[in-house]
Amino acid sequence: DARVTQTPRHKVTEMGQEVTMRCQPILGHNTVFWYRQTMMQGLELLAYFRNRAPLDDSGMPKDRFSAEMPDATLATLKIQPSEPRDSAVYFCASGLVKGVDYGYTFGSGTRLTVV
Amino acid sequence: AQSVSQHNHHVILSEAASLELGCNYSYGGTVNLFWYVQYPGQHLQLLLKYFSGDPLVKGIKGFEAEFIKSKFSFNLRKPSVQWSDTAEYFCAVNAQNYGQNFVFGPGTRLSVLP
């Protein structure tokens, strides 16, 4: 089965450090999402891309977060500087949007702990 | 703005009991509806989705959901749960006029007792 691969699976970092999370979408998928999951907020959309172009990043704190797709096989989410409140599980999802039908596959997530 | 509510925060059932998890959304236009499951420590998996047609949708692992447009609901059901169904269940809505992003409900934790 095709998978969305996220690395690293776990990351512990000190406050103020830069964190980079990576996502390899399923080959051929044209849409990539970044979500954050916390107990308090549940699942929140941070950003999403279509054909590598950012379509919506309104859910992302712009002063410290940035999301990019340098090529079709890699999406990155960076936090600089990181803060304890950024501790969460970050999910990437990819999908092929074709007409009105689509479905998404989620990666296993990156569990980030900022101390 | 779209919003999704799930009626129960935590549901506890015994094996073989029937399950119904409620999901309501607030958007009057055309919507696509989804249920995702997240097993402990794992990623989200799609259980089923509704785009159009028959409002009773069958998914994987014996789950089904019924779209009732007049009630803005998309409840998830399973006639007989198993211990392995213990997980968190998320309802998600995509309103077609809002692009391709989702709004997720807060999730319902299901605990099935053996």
pLDDT of residue B96: 65
CB contacts, 8 Å: B36 with chain A: 106
Cβ contact A61:A47 at 8 Å: no
First vs last C-alpha separation in chain A? 36
Higher pLDDT, B100 or A31: A31
Cβ contact B112:B15 at 8 Å: yes
Q: In chain A, which among 40-69 make CB contacts under 8 A with chain B?
A: 42-43, 45, 48, 50, 55-56
CB contacts, 8 Å: B43 with chain A: 91, 106-109
Q: Computed from CA positions of residues B107, B112, B113, B114, in that sequence, does the dihedral angle turn out positive or negative?
A: negative
Mean pLDDT for all residues in chain A:
89
Contact A50 B49 (CB under 8 A): no
Contact B104 A43 (CB under 8 A): yes
CB contacts, 8 Å: A43 with chain B: 90, 104, 107
Pairing of strands A42-50, A104-106: unpaired
CB contacts, 8 Å: B105 with chain A: 42
pLDDT of residue B78: 97
Q: Which of A31, A105, A106 sits opposite B100 (nearest CB)?
A: A31
Reported as a pLDDT band with limits 50, 70 and 90, residue A27 is very high
B86-105 pLDDT tens trace = 999 999 887 765 555 667 88
A48-93 pLDDT tens trace = 888 898 887 888 888 999 999 999 999 999 999 999 999 999 999 9
Q: Which of B43, B52, B102 sits opposite A108 (nearest CB)?
A: B43
B44-99 pLDDT tens trace = 888 998 988 999 999 999 999 999 999 999 999 999 999 999 999 999 887 765 55
- Mean pLDDT for A99-108 is 71
Which tokens is B26 given?
A: 């607030």
Higher pLDDT, B7 or B100: B7
